Amino acid sequence: MPVVSMTVNGNSVSGEVEGRTLLVQFLREHLRLTGTHVGCDTSQCGCCTVHIDGKGMKSCSVLALACNGSSITTIEGVAVDGKLHPMQQAFHEHHGLQCGFCTPGMIMSALDMVRRKGNDLDEHTVREQLEGNLCRCTGYHNIVKAIQAGAAAMKGDATPATQHD
Amino acid sequence: MSDSAISTRIGEPVRRKEDLHFLTGKGVFSDDVSLPRQAYAVIARSPHAHARIRGIKTAATLAVPGVVMVLSGDDLRADGLKPIAHMPTSTHHAETALVNSDGSEIFTAPRYALAIDKVRNVGEAVAMIIADSVAAAKDGAEALEVDYEILPSVTATVAAAEPDAPRVWDEARSNVCMDAQVGDPEATETAFASAAHVVKLETWAQRVTGVTMEPRAAVCEFDAATQRYTLYTASGGAVRLKEDVAHVLGIASKAVRVVMEDMGGNFGTRGEVYPEFILVAWAARRAGRPVKWTCERSEAFVSDYQGRDLAVTAELALDAQGNFLAMRGSNIGNAGSHTVSFAPLKKGLGIMSSIYRVPAAHFRARSVVSNTMSTRPYRSAGRPEVIYVMERLIDLAARKGNFDRAEIRRRNLLSEAELPYTNQFHMTYDNGAYHKVMEEALTLANWQGFERRRIDARKRGKRRGIGVANYVDTSTGAPRERAEIIVHPEGKIDVVIGVTENGQGHETSFAQLITEWLGVPADDVRLIDGDTDIVKVGGGAHGGRGMRMASLVIWNASKQIIEKGTRIAARMLECDPSSIRFDSARFIVEGTQRTVGLFEVAAAAGQLKDLPDDLHGSLSACSEEIHHVASFPYGTHVCEVEVDPELGIVDIVGYTAVDDVGRAINPLLIHGQVHGGIAQGAGQALLEQCHYESETGQLLSGSLMDYALPRADNFPFFKTGISEVPSTTHPLGIRPAGESGTTPALGVVVNAVVDAVAEFGVRHIEMPMTPERVWRAINGKQPPSSVSTSR
Instruction: Tally A–B CB contacts below 8 A.
Output: 184
Q: Which helix (H) or strand (E) holds B567?
A: helix B546-573
Contact between chains at B19 and A92 (C-beta distance less than 8 A): yes
Say whether residue A103 is in contact with chain B using an 8 A CB cutoff.
Answer: yes
Asked if the structure places residue B672 within a domain, the reply is yes
Closest residue in chain B to residue A100, using alpha carbons only: B22
Contacts of B295 in chain A (CB under 8 A): none
**What average pLDDT does the segment B112-119 reach?**
97
Mutate to test the interface with A, among B1, B19, B23, B507 (most CBs of A within 10 A): B23
Contacts of A99 in chain B (CB under 8 A): 212-214, 262-265, 502-503
Say whether residue A22 is in contact with chain B using an 8 A CB cutoff.
Answer: no
Domain boundary among B583, B598, B626: B626
Alpha helices per DSSP H over B428-538? 434-444, 450-459, 506-518
Contact between chains at A141 and B32 (C-beta distance less than 8 A): no
Q: Average per-residue pLDDT in chain B?
A: 96
Range of the domain at B593: 19-25+477-626
What confidence tier does A131 reach under pLDDT thresholds 50, 70, 90? Answer: very high
Domain boundary among B577, B603, B626: B626
What confidence tier does B784 reach under pLDDT thresholds 50, 70, 90? Answer: low
Q: Quick check: B358 and B322 in contact, CB under 8 A?
A: no
Asked if the structure places residue B237 within a domain, the reply is no
Closest residue in chain B to residue A35, using alpha carbons only: B25
- Strands A49-52, B217-223: pairing kind: unpaired
Q: Kindly report the CA angle at B653 between B651 and B655, in degrees rounded to 5?
A: 120
**Nearest by CB to B503, which of A44, A134, A137?**
A137
pLDDT confidence of residue B782: 76
CA distance B549 to B537: 12
| CA distance readout (Å), B274 to B43, B270, B304 | 13, 8, 8
Contacts of B232 in chain A (CB under 8 A): none
Q: Quick check: B173 and B232 in contact, CB under 8 A?
A: no
**Nearest by CB to A44, which of B19, B31, B704?**
B704
- pTM given for the model: 0.97
Q: Quick check: B67 and B137 in contact, CB under 8 A?
A: yes
What confidence tier does B3 reach under pLDDT thresholds 50, 70, 90? Answer: very low
Asked if the model's pLDDT at residue B730 lies above 60, the reply is yes
| B103 contacts: CB under 8 Å, gap ≥ 6 | none
Closest to B283 (Cα-Cα) out of B217, B227, B215, B229: B229
Asked if the structure places residue B75 within a domain, the reply is no
**Same domain, yes or no: B543 and B680:** no
Tens digit of each residue's pLDDT (9 = 90 or more) over B210-238: 999 999 999 999 999 999 999 999 999 99
**Same domain, yes or no: B559 and B422:** no
**Same domain, yes or no: B721 and B766:** yes
Contacts of A41 in chain B (CB under 8 A): 296-298, 703
**Same domain, yes or no: B567 and B652:** no
**Same domain, yes or no: B772 and B671:** yes
Contact between chains at B19 and A78 (C-beta distance less than 8 A): no
Q: Kindly report the CA angle at B509 between B355 and B586, in degrees rounded to 5?
A: 125
CA distance B106 to B603: 57
pLDDT confidence of residue A162: 53
What confidence tier does B6 reach under pLDDT thresholds 50, 70, 90? Answer: low
What confidence tier does B121 reach under pLDDT thresholds 50, 70, 90? Answer: very high
Instruction: Report the number of distinct structural domains present in chain B.
Output: 2
**Same domain, yes or no: B647 and B769:** yes
**Is the backbone peptide bond immediately before B768 cis, with ω within 30 degrees of 0?**
yes
Furthest CA-CA distance within chain A: 48
Type of residue numbered B694: S
**Same domain, yes or no: B502 and B558:** yes
- Domains of chain A with bracketed CATH: 3-77 (3.10.20.30), 86-154 (1.10.150.120)
**Same domain, yes or no: B693 and B782:** yes
Contacts of B23 in chain A (CB under 8 A): 75, 79, 84, 88, 91-92, 97, 103, 107
Asked if the model's pLDDT at residue B101 lies above 80, the reply is yes
CA distance B598 to B101: 59
Tens digit of each residue's pLDDT (9 = 90 or more) over B678-696: 999 999 999 999 999 999 9
Contact between chains at A98 and B24 (C-beta distance less than 8 A): no
**Same domain, yes or no: B767 and B643:** yes
Contact between chains at B676 and A139 (C-beta distance less than 8 A): yes
- CATH number of the structural domain spanning residue B531: 3.30.365.10
Contact between chains at A134 and B704 (C-beta distance less than 8 A): yes
Closest residue in chain B to residue A36, using alpha carbons only: B25
Say whether residue A163 is in contact with chain B using an 8 A CB cutoff.
Answer: no
Contact between chains at B19 and A101 (C-beta distance less than 8 A): no
Closest residue in chain A to residue B667, using alpha carbons only: A95
Tens digit of each residue's pLDDT (9 = 90 or more) over B297-320: 999 999 999 999 999 999 999 999
Asked if the structure places residue B746 within a domain, the reply is yes
Asked if the model's pLDDT at residue B2 lies above 80, the reply is no
In percent, the amount of chain B with pLDDT more than 70 equals: 98
Mutate to test the interface with A, among B24, B34, B211, B719 (most CBs of A within 10 A): B24
**Nearest by CB to A88, which of B23, B211, B296?**
B23
pLDDT confidence of residue B789: 53
Tens digit of each residue's pLDDT (9 = 90 or more) over A55-97: 999 999 999 999 999 999 999 999 998 899 999 999 999 999 9
| DSSP symbols for B206-264 | EEEE---SSPPEEEEEEETTTTEEEEE---S-HHHHHHHHHHHHTS-GGGEEEE----S
Task: Calculate how close chain A gets to B502, using CA atoms only, in Å.
Answer: 6
Give the count of beta carbons closer than 10 Å to the beta carbon of residue B261: 17
Asked if the model's pLDDT at residue B785 lies above 60, the reply is no
**Same domain, yes or no: B419 and B549:** no
Tens digit of each residue's pLDDT (9 = 90 or more) over B646-681: 999 999 999 999 999 999 999 999 999 999 999 999
Asked if the structure places residue B727 within a domain, the reply is yes
Tell me the torsion sign for CA atoms B680, B681, B682, B683. positive
**Nearest by CB to A99, which of B135, B214, B709?**
B214
**Same domain, yes or no: B526 and B658:** no
Contact between chains at B24 and A35 (C-beta distance less than 8 A): yes
| B186 contacts: CB under 8 Å, gap ≥ 6 | none
pLDDT confidence of residue B1: 35
Domain boundary among B576, B606, B626: B626
Task: Calculate how close chain B gets to A5, using CA atoms only, in Å.
Answer: 22
What confidence tier does A165 reach under pLDDT thresholds 50, 70, 90? Answer: very low
Tens digit of each residue's pLDDT (9 = 90 or more) over B611-637: 999 999 999 999 999 999 999 999 999
Contact between chains at A103 and B296 (C-beta distance less than 8 A): no
**Nearest by CB to A139, which of B25, B296, B678?**
B678
Contact between chains at B677 and A40 (C-beta distance less than 8 A): no
**Same domain, yes or no: B557 and B420:** no
Closest residue in chain A to residue B263, using alpha carbons only: A99
pLDDT confidence of residue B787: 45
